[in-house]
Amino acid sequence: MEVAAGAGELRNRDPGATQGPPPDKGARRPQVADAELDAMLDRRRLKRRLGWWRLAAVVAVLALLGAVGLKAVPFERQRITRLAVHGFIMEDSARDRALRRLADDGASKAVLVRINSPGGSVAGSEELYLGLRAVAERKPVVAVIGTVGASGGYIVALAADHILARETAITGSIGAILQTASVVGLLDKLGIAAETVKSRPLKGQPSPFETFDPAARAAVQTLIDDSYRWFTGLVEARRKLTPEQLQQVADGRIFSGRQARERRLIDGFGGEEEARRWLETERDLPRGLPIRDLEYGDTDAWLDRLGAAMATALFGKSLLRELLMLDGLLALWQPSLTVGAAAAER
């Protein structure tokens, strides 16, 4: 009777307790004391209570993180993003997309633009300038000019809130240029005549196979003048120059870093460490943030770079640069090509 009563009490106290298979009729039921059964049930109840409390604690922590922590960026993820602008500047859709993502990246607290470029196409320089200005609306941007940051390279620097350069760096070269070559005389010597059929006299001008018509030259000059006004307007607005100050720097000449500082084209001297110090003191960035490169690129861009590398290997760097300069309006400083063009004219 005592064993039966204990089993009944167990069923009443713990309805959810599992029951084993009914014992064989001939088997004897185990003799379990009421105290042991009570202790067993207490342990089960305690485990259930602890499980519920643990679940409640996890839910509370997740709710707290959702309310407070989602917008907060952990310090170890914060960084300064470095954008390297090297060589010939061209339009780049992958770079443009990367800059749009960078503007929305809360972990990137500032952008450091490292420039070592004589320029490139006017459109490519403008695209990069506008992309960086969009980023600068969300976070500070500082530019560092290394060996050279001239013409289109200086357009890129103008997008920054603060411009640094080495004292011996080359910058300036404010203006636009369109270069062409004429092979008419060479073809005449070879007895080759190039024929062109076109809708109007100015179509296809300038052309290496035709004499540069004065009317075509005048039309091209208006194009150059318009781009020049855009460039100088950018310099005047971004560097806050008076018309007199602008006139002194906008004649196309290049300047050393020291000369550029005197003419207010840059803000100071230095490199990445000086740029970091400016961000920390003037823009209140946390000290010691790591600097990480902006990674971008896609298959098409990779193929373009491969093609350029193959052309360089096959034809040489100088010819590749000349081929690039034969088409499109350029904001580029390249003295060796200017000398070569003058020699060709003679």
Reading phi first (left if > 0) and then psi (alpha if -120 to 50, else beta), residue 80 is in beta
What residues contact residue 331 under an 8 Å CB cut-off, 6+ apart?
119, 120, 121, 122, 125, 151, 152, 155, 175, 176, 177, 227, 231
Q: Which of 177, 178, 208, 206 is nearest to 344 (CA)?
A: 208
d(CA 156, CA 161): 11
- Tell me which of 203, 317, 318, 336 is the catalytic residue: 203
CA distances (Å), origin 132, targets 260, 286, 293, 321, 331:
22, 22, 15, 26, 18
Residue type, 114: R
What residues contact residue 122 under an 8 Å CB cut-off, 6+ apart?
152, 176, 227, 231, 328, 329, 330, 331
Q: Indicate the SS3 state at residue 29.
A: coil
- Annotated active-site residue 139? The verdict is no
Q: What φ, ψ does residue 225 adopt, rounded to 5°?
A: -60, -40
317-325 and 299-315 helices, crossing angle to 10°: 120
- Annotated active-site residue 151? The verdict is yes
d(CA 193, CA 184): 8
Cross-strand pairs, 89: 120
What residues contact residue 49 under an 8 Å CB cut-off, 6+ apart?
none
Element (DSSP H or E) covering residue 305: helix 299-315
- Tell me which of 151, 173, 207, 227 is the catalytic residue: 151
d(CA 285, CA 139): 10
| Sole residue written with tokens 């470029």 | 117
Give the residue numbers annotated as catalytic, written as ranges: 151, 203
